[in-house]
Amino acid sequence: MARPKVTVVGAGNVGATTAQYIVERELADVVLTDVVDGLPQGKALDLLQAGPVHGYDCRITGANDYEPTAGSDIIVITAGLARKPGMSRDDLLLKNAEIVGGVVTETARRSPTAILIVVTNPLDAMAQLALRRSGFPKQRVIGMAGVLDSARFRTFIAQELDVSVENVTAFVLGGHGDTMVPLPRYSTVAGIPITELLPKDRLEALVTRTANGGAEIVGLLKTGSAYYAPAASVVEMIEAILKDKKKILPCTAYLEGEYGVKGLFVGVPVKLGRRGIEQILQITLSPDESAGLQRSAAAVRELTDKLGI
């Protein structure tokens, strides 16, 4: 049986680490692309040479053009710029929209049945742009944010209670970043809601740390942002899709009325399988949680309005 094919656009920190985790799990052959001459080719060759040691046979190809991406099952978009000094959030929005728009046009026409996983920030708006540009059905355009945000929350809960991360499930809704909505009452340790295990003030501290999880790492690294956990999160989504696992994961999905949000990408629990987003799960939110989600949606809407999408 032919191995599935995954294209990763952007051979920077998140892109290259995503390629690494894909081949280490032997999930797919990988095509890694970037605009920087030699970068994707060099990283692809290096990863290929780790194969004999790790014991994987996946093919890994690096390219500066899109021809080798044709017929991909999944396309992961990590291409973009980080914010530079003097650059406003809006400058970044417009620049990354230009990059992501171009990438989507080039990849979608060569892989018309692919599933797009968008990673580039501002995530929710870039996912919306990818949906519009590709003309793909909404089931096949997914943003990665919730898996990462909930992985961070799970890490902090496990640390706080000194239990295995494997026992901890956590739920995070909403947009990526400051407006995310962690849901402690749906977060559990071996099935026990964490609201029964942690006092309110500790729980609030963990929620705040989760919401600032990305900034905490940027503050430490200084020259870049997180990539191990983001790449691991992308790969969990890829695995759920390629193995048709029907796994329930928090992902950024296009809503058409669910949770009272219409025509916008927001993070919600979805079922991921071979057809992409196979279902959006609707859970009952408290008035506070619902208000948080609406605030989050409004922040996303501001960006999509600026892009006119």
Catalytic residues: 176
148 binds ligand TXD (CB under 6 A): yes
Question: Which 8-state DSSP code applies to residue 206?
Answer: H
Residue closer to ligand TXD (CB basis): 120 or 294: 120
> Across the beta sheet with 60-63, what order do the strands follow?
60-63, 29-33, 5-9, 74-77, 115-118, 141-143, 247-256, 262-273, 276-280
Residues 201-230 binding ligand TXD (CB under 6 A) are 224-227, 230
Phi, psi (rounded to 5 degrees) for 25: -95, 5
Question: Are 6 and 30 contacting, i.e. CB atoms less than 8 angstroms apart?
Answer: yes
99 binds ligand TXD (CB under 6 A): yes
Residue closer to ligand TXD (CB basis): 140 or 176: 176
294 binds ligand TXD (CB under 6 A): no
Binding residue (CB under 6 A) for ligand TXD from 6, 7, 8, 13? 13
Neighbours of 21 (CB within 10 A): 18
Residues 225-284 binding ligand TXD (CB under 6 A) are 225-227, 230
Residue owning tokens 């295995």:
164
Q: Shortest Cβ distance from residue 191 to ligand TXD (Å)?
A: 28
The pattern of x and - marking residues 57 through 86 that bind ligand TXD according to CB under 6 A reads ---------------------xxx-x----
Alpha carbons 274 and 99: distance in angstroms, whole number: 27
The interface region with ligand TXD, picked from 8-16, 54-62, 130-138, 265-273 by CB under 6 A, is 8-16
Residue closer to ligand TXD (CB basis): 130 or 198: 130
The pattern of x and - marking residues 128 through 147 that bind ligand TXD according to CB under 6 A reads ----------------xx--
Please, where are the H alpha helices in the chain?
Answer: 13-24, 39-54, 89-110, 123-134, 146-161, 200-211, 213-221, 228-242, 287-307
Residue closer to ligand TXD (CB basis): 132 or 202: 132
Residue closer to ligand TXD (CB basis): 78 or 188: 78
Residue closer to ligand TXD (CB basis): 121 or 304: 121
Question: Are 44 and 60 contacting, i.e. CB atoms less than 8 angstroms apart?
Answer: yes
The pattern of x and - marking residues 108 through 127 that bind ligand TXD according to CB under 6 A reads -----------xxx-x----
Tell me the CB-side half-sphere exposure of residue 181, using CA atoms within 13 A: 26
Bridge partners (DSSP) of residue 168 are: 189
Q: Shortest Cβ distance from residue 86 to ligand TXD (Å)?
A: 17
Q: What is the CA radius of gyration of the chain?
A: 19
Q: Shortest Cβ distance from residue 201 to ligand TXD (Å)?
A: 27
Alpha carbons 171 and 149: distance in angstroms, whole number: 9
State how far the alpha carbon of 174 is from the alpha carbons of 18, 188, 231, 257, 309, in Å: 24, 19, 20, 14, 19
Residues 14-43 binding ligand TXD (CB under 6 A) are 14-15, 33-36
Of all residues in the shown chain, the one whose CB is closest to ligand TXD is: 12
Residues 151-210 binding ligand TXD (CB under 6 A) are 176
CA 254 to chain CA mean position, Å: 14
| Binding positions for ligand TXD, rule: CB under 6 A | 9-15, 33-36, 78-80, 82, 99, 102-103, 119-121, 123, 144-145, 148, 176, 224-227, 230
